[in-house]
Amino acid sequence: MNTISISDEFLEKWPAVKLGCIACNTVVEGPMNDMWDEIETHCESIKNEMQVEQISQLPAINASRKAYRALGKDPARYRLSAEALMRRVLKGGELYRLNNLVDLINLVSLKTGFSIGGYDADKIEGPVSLSVGSASDVYEALGRGVLNIESLPVLRDNSGAFGSPTSDSVRTGITAGTKRFLMVVFGFGALDKIDETINFAENLLVSYTRATFVEKQIITS
C-alpha cells in the first residue's frame, strides 16, 4: 500500500480525521446480481426510513459537511458523494450499473453514510497525503469535467490531486484494466465506525471482486 498521511495544513483546519484504507488485487467485472440485490435492499430501507432533509443529519455526513465549512467550501454546492448518492435514491433516480468495484463502493456508502474514494492503485504515483485543494489545482472529475477543488479535502500524490470525497478523478479512475485497487473511507466524524466499515468493505471485496493480497490501514490525526 502507498504511504498515506494527513497534512498539517488539513489538521489545522479540521483535526478530527480518520481514513480507513484498503488495498488489494482485484478482478473488475460487470455488475453482479447478488450485489445488486444488496444495493436494492439498502435503497428500499433508505426510501422507507428517511426524508431528503434528514440525510444531512446522518452522523458521518453531518460531520463531513462541518469539515467542508471549516475548510472554506459550501457542502450544499459541492456535495459529498455519499450525500449525493442518498439524495438520488430518495428522489427516485436510478443508480448507474457500471462494474463490480464501483457498485461495491456505492453499496458501502449507502450502508454507512461515509464518502468513499476508489482508485486504480497502479496509477497513483508515490506517497499519498490528505490535504486542502488550492486555486492552482487542475482536477478532472469523473462524469463532471473540470471541478473546482479549491478548499476541498483532496488526496495528492507526486502528480497532484487525484481524489476527493466529492468526486474521484479521471486520472486514477477504475477501468476494466484495473488490477490493484485502493479504497479510502473519508472519516471526518463518526470515527468509531471506520473500523467496522473497513471490515464490511473487505468482506464485500473478497466476495464480489475475488480480492487477494488485502492490506488494511487506519490513518488518524
pLDDT at 48 over 80: yes
CB 198, CB 20: distance < 8 Å: yes
Q: Does residue 216 have a pLDDT over 90?
A: yes
Average pLDDT score, the chain = 94
Q: pLDDT category, 18, cuts 50, 70, 90? A: very high
Read off the pLDDT of residues 93-116 as tens digits, 9 standing for 90 and up: 888 888 999 999 999 999 999 999
CA 39 to chain CA centroid, nearest Å: 16
118 strand-pairing partners? 183
Domain span at 76: 4-220
Q: What is the pLDDT of residue 154?
A: 98
> Does residue 170 have a pLDDT over 80?
yes
Q: How many separate domains does the chain show?
A: 1
3-state helix, strand, coil in the chain (%, to 5): 40, 25, 35
The pLDDT of residue 144 is 86
pLDDT at residue 143 in the model: 85
Residue 221 reports pLDDT greater than 80: no
pTM of this prediction?
Answer: 0.95
State how far the alpha carbon of 171 is from the alpha carbons of 89, 146, 164, in Å: 27, 12, 13
pLDDT attached to residue 103: 95
With both helix axes pointing from N to C terminus, report the angle between 100-112 and 33-49 in degrees, rounded to the nearest 10.
30
pLDDT at 72 over 90: yes
| Tens digit of each residue's pLDDT (9 = 90 or more) over 189-213 | 889 999 999 999 999 999 999 999 9
pLDDT at res. 19 = 97
CATH number of the domain at 133, please: 3.50.40.10
